[in-house]
Structures are given as C-alpha cells and as structure tokens.
A and B are shown apart, each in its own frame.
Chain A
Amino acid sequence: MKIAVCIKQVPASTDVKVDPVTGVLIRSGTNNKMNPYDLYAVETALKIKAMIPNTKVYAISMGPAQAKTILNEALWMGCDEAILLSDRKFAGADVLATSQALSQGLLYIGGLDLIICGKQTIDGDTAQVGPEIAELLAYPHATYVNEIISVNEKTLEVSTNYENHHEILAISLPCLITVEKDIYTPRLPSYKRGLDFKDYEIEVISLKDLPDNDEHKYGLNGSPTQVEKIFSPDKNDKKEVVEGSILHVVDTLFNELKTKKYI
C-alpha cells in the first residue's frame, strides 16, 4: 500500500497582533513547528503501515526550504520518504491554489491508495484543503475521522465525528481522510531512526516537475480569493457590573442572553 500524509509548517505561536499605527503584523517569535493536527495524520499512517505489510508512507509539504525541518520530523517518526513542494510560483496560494499544488505533488508521487491530512491547521484554521485535494484528484473523502475500524487493499472502514453523532463509513480506495486529534497518540521522533536518515536528501520539487505545470493555476494567480485587508478583532474587554432593583438586573441579564442569541 502507498500512503501519503500532507503536513504543514506553521508558526510556533499564533499570538500575533496588528500594530494599530502601521497596520503591520507583530508576531512574538519566529519559530516554526509542524501543525499539531498533522502529527495525528502521521501517526494514523504509521498505524496503518503496521497493519498492512509492504506499506510505504510518504510525507509531503508545500513551503519554503525551512519546511524541511518538519519533513525530517515526519521521517524520524517513521515515514519512509519525504517530498517538499517549493517554488516561488506557489507563493500567495489560497485554499484552492494550495490544494492544486498539493494534489499535483501527490500525483507526482503517483499510485497512492490513501491520503491522510490533519483536520485543520492552526494558522489558517479552514479545514478545507484536505477535501479540496480529494475533489481535485476525484478521490472520495471523509473528514473528522476519529477511528480506523478496518483497512485492506480495497476498502477503508472509518468512524467520522459529527456534532451529535458518529457515522461509520466504508470507503473504496483510493481515498482521502482528515483525522481528528486523539485518533491515536502521536509517537515522538526517534533519534535512532534519525541516524538512519543522516544522509537522506529530501526531494524538492517545483512547478516544472508537476504533471500540470500551467502557472496560472498556482500561487496568487491560481487563487480565487484575495485578502483585502487585515485588522485586529474587536476585543471584548468591556467589563460591566450591574446593580439595582431586581427587575433591572433580571432585565439586563435577560437582554444580554437574548442579544447574544443564547435564548
């Protein structure tokens, strides 16, 4: 079996502010890490690898050269190969253009039976790239998978997590799933395993390597959405203490719950 895991490098902290004067983003620190939800995707792939003999797990990421760090982490955890999609022409990609690049990178790997993504990233928070990749590859997909029930060369049986119910699905392979956190406990990268990859070169592919290399489909050009502006959210720091007649305080409480749509 051939499995690919899509991973992303994200800022170590999402603690950013907009400078009210200059409008520039202020970030605390510039450290990066693997998107935490992707650790569960990697772990899921490795668990399936343990269930099915002769399974190979590929980790793939799109980003600048620094993103090799998280691909190494994936290798050290137990992935067999790692591929980085890196090209200035991918810059400025929104959900669609990102999905386009990743889906082409996955086609470049070729012959995949299963693609696994984390349920969302912590910086973009959209949870939309996984399903879009699936559609671009014409794979069936399931999101918010919280349990792998069974898997063989033809079918994957999973439990998916909805707000008020779980649904058990049998999906024909090849397919794509996004996994919930806590589906499995991610293992730590193994230093010993890292030694095996000491001389490993992560393959870096660019636009020209992709099966569809029409540059209009990538990066900013291939992005239907544009960010018009960024700004600070209205901070809810207003504090109010209400006293007085019982009628008055009950009215205040009632109106507050009503305005906030709780009743």
Chain B
Amino acid sequence: MSRIKINYDKLKKEHVEKLMNICPFNAFEYENEKLTINSACKVCKMCVKKGPEGVCEYEEIAKVQIDKSKWTGIAVYVEHDEGGIHPVSFELIGKAIELAKKTMQAVYAVIIGADIEKKANILLTYGVDKVFVYKHEKLAHFNIERYANVFSDYIETIKPSAILIGATALGRSFAPKIAARFKTGLTADCTKLDIKENTDLVQVRPAFGGNIMASIVTSNNRPQLATVRYKIFNKPQVVEPKGVIIEHNCQGINLESKIKHLKYIKKERGIDITEAEIIVSCGRGIKTKENLRLAEELAVILGAELACTRPLIENGWFDARRQIGLSGRTVAPKLLINLGIHGAVQYEAGIKNSEYIISVNKDKTAPIMDVSHLGIIGDLNEVIPQLLQKIKAEGVINGL
C-alpha cells in the first residue's frame, strides 16, 4: 500500500489552508473541522515535501521486485503502408540505438505485414541488430486485433525491455492495446527519452496542455512502452547493414478479428490553414507574381500551407480561406514563416498561438519583428531564391 497519511496529532488549524493550497490536485477536503484526502490524490508527495513538517507522511510497503535482466533489448514497432515505412519509425530506431549503446542492449525492429521483404532490408540499413518480420496474407492491411496478437507473440518470445511506437493516429490506438494486454506502463507523446543503467526508460512528456513537463519511469514492469510523435527525434544515418532478418510465418497466432475494413478513403486536401502544422504566409512585400511562385515553391518543399494577409486577398491573389487575421483565420502552426509581412495588429491577433515564427522582411523596424522568434532582414527577391537553391543543392528535402 502506498498513500499519503495525515498525522492528526501534528495537524494544526492553520495548516489546513496551507495544505489545500499546496495540493495541485485539490485532494484535501475539509469538512466538519476534519481534514481528509480524497481520491483526486495522485500521491505526488507535494504535501509531504512542501507542507508543514511531519503532518503529511508517505507510506509505502515495498512491492515484489521483478527481474529486469529477463527483459532485454529495445524494440521499435515499424509503422508502414503502401506508401512505405512511416519516417517516425526511422527516428525511433535512431533513438533506440542511442539508448541501447548506453546500456549495451540490442536494437530490434518489428514489422508486420504481407509483402514486406524490401522494407525489412531498408530497416537493416539503419543499423538495427535484428529485424523481426511477421508475414501473412491476412496481415496485408493494419487490423488492430490481428496486429496486436502478432505483436504480443513477439513480446512473449523475445521479451524486449522497452518498446517505442510512433505517436501517430495508428500508434495511439495500438500502443495502449498492447500495454493493457501486458498490464504494463505506457507513456504517451514523449518529447525526450533517456535510459538508466538498470534499463529503466526516463520518459519526459508534457502535461496540462504543455504547461508542465513530467519525467516518468516504469520501474517495476516490463516491457516499458512509450510513444513519440513524428519529428521529435532525428533520423539516423544510413550505415552498412550488420543485422539479421528473422522471419516468422505467424503459425499458431490467432488472426481472427471482429473488425472488418470496408473502405480506405484518401483525404482530399481541402484548404484549411487552421489545422496546418507549417505555414508560409505572404504579405504585401511579395510584390510580384514571380515572388509568389517562390513562396509556393518553398511551401511545397516544407509541406506547408500557403497563407496571406488581407491586401493579397483584396488584389485577388489568394482564396479568402487562406487569410490570417481578425477578418480571416486564426492559426496555430508549429512553424510560421512570414514573407514580406509588416505585422498589423489584426494580423498578429491571428498568429499569436504559433509555436515558432520566422519573418523575412527588408524593414528591421517592422512590428512583425517583435513577435518573431527569428527575424531575417533581407530582400525576399534574394533571400528566398538563394534559400531554395541551397536546399536543392544540399538535397535535404523531406520526402513526405
């Protein structure tokens, strides 16, 4: 049993309010002059550490410790479809290799599907020690029940210490199913991962809408599951393959399912700048249609949506759905690039939820510079063409 105990003999009346203020979860209740702790308590121990000394106490009876040495290796669940392997899987392999080095563990990639030999060979070139290939015609498309049965078979046989899964729509459905089946810990949307000598993953994730970061461990359960969003970690270098492919024909695994896949509908890319993760936005400084094409080219390379300020709607260069600002849309991208935008208050009202803002402008004193994380002072006519040239020369275009 672990819980917070109130030592009533030490509790004074003036402590009550103090404790109630300290508790981040409002778990203290004060009724009929009696202080109690309700089920909102997360046993965060704030009241023990920050409260009046000795009033709150943490009680714990040690649990039976598991034998962590029976679980070894870091596994990456490889997400893929007709289009190929999802790039988040490569990023996770890169991180797994880094973590495995610290603890002298092996790195495994697990891929489930029908026609996947080629993909398995690609995975080897990213430096994994073993690629586990589970092949069956019934596994041609992702079906959560079948895939979960296959992956469970892998976990039971290989016993990996940690499993990394991309925090995609698919991964966020799949990972919890696996974690619940093995009654183990799962940490969603990790933004940082580290590892302790005893192979415990240190998982850092945002909470409360990103206002707080929490560092989380799964100290007495294996496997440890973590999901990580795309583009959090770096894609590793391609290396000379040193690993091996281990095939499994899925015999003995239950491939029945209560879910039927009826249709797969590719999304039409409608105009919606409000949900865009990356936006290239154009202002009056664009001046010519030629420059507009440059902005479009940059948007294509970055996988960004194009947006604009009000004057460019008025001169008919843009669809009205692309306007940012008070009379347009409010956006919240991870990256906003402003090209030739002065920064009227109406425009700035529409961009204040952007995570990172880069602005290119000739005028150093433009108000847009005050809200930009990075201001680039220069002429669009020169900066953008040279940037495009450099990107092409370095061949670093993201292939998504």
Contacts and interface: CB of A to CB of B under 8 A. Distances in A.
B373 A167 contact: no
Interface stretch (B38-46, B116-124, B316-324): B38-46
Query: Which label, helix, strand, loop or mixed, suits the secondary structure of the B interface?
Result: mixed
B377 to A, nearest CB: 4
B221 A224 contact: yes
Contact of B266 (A131, A142, A165): A165
Contact of B378 (A16, A25, A86, A249): A249
B25 to A, nearest CB: 9
A125 B2 CA distance: 25
Q: When A and B form their complex, which 7 residue pairs have the shortest distance between CB atoms, in order from nearest? A: A224-B185, A25-B24, A14-B209, A243-B377, A135-B180, A241-B375, A131-B176
Interface size range on A against B:
35 or more
B122 to A, nearest CB: 20
A162 B37 CA distance: 41
A140 B145 contact: yes
Interface of A: 11, 14-18, 22-25, 27, 30, 62-66, 86-92, 94-96, 99, 122-136, 140-144, 157, 159-172, 175, 215, 219-221, 223-233, 236, 238-244, 246-247, 249-254, 256-258, 260-263
A160 B219 CA distance: 35
Interface residues of B, number: 100
A64 B26 CA distance: 10
Interface in B111-153: 144-145, 148
B212 A165 contact: no
A167 B173 contact: no
A247 B179 CA distance: 51
B191 to A, nearest CB: 9
B388 to A, nearest CB: 10
B397 A263 contact: yes
Given A24-B50, A167-B265, A95 B176 contact: yes
Interface string B200-233: 0010001111111111111111000000000100
Nearest to A132: B180
Most buried by B among A66, A96, A262: A262
A86 B39 contact: yes
Given A91-B38, A128-B186, 20 more contacts: A25-B46, A96-B186, A141-B144, A141-B173, A157-B262, A165-B264, A165-B265, A167-B261, A168-B262, A168-B263, A169-B260, A236-B355, A239-B372, A240-B375, A242-B374, A246-B379, A246-B386, A253-B360, A256-B358, A257-B302
Interface in B258-277: 258-267
Contacts, number: 299
A135 B181 CA distance: 6
Instruction: Classify the interface of chain A: helix, strand, loop or mixed.
Output: mixed
B208 A123 contact: yes
B41 A253 contact: no
Interface stretch (B67-75, B164-172, B241-249): B164-172
B362 to A, nearest CB: 10
B278 interface: yes
A161 B22 CA distance: 41
A135 B266 CA distance: 28
A91 B187 contact: no
Contact of A233 (B212, B219, B376): B212
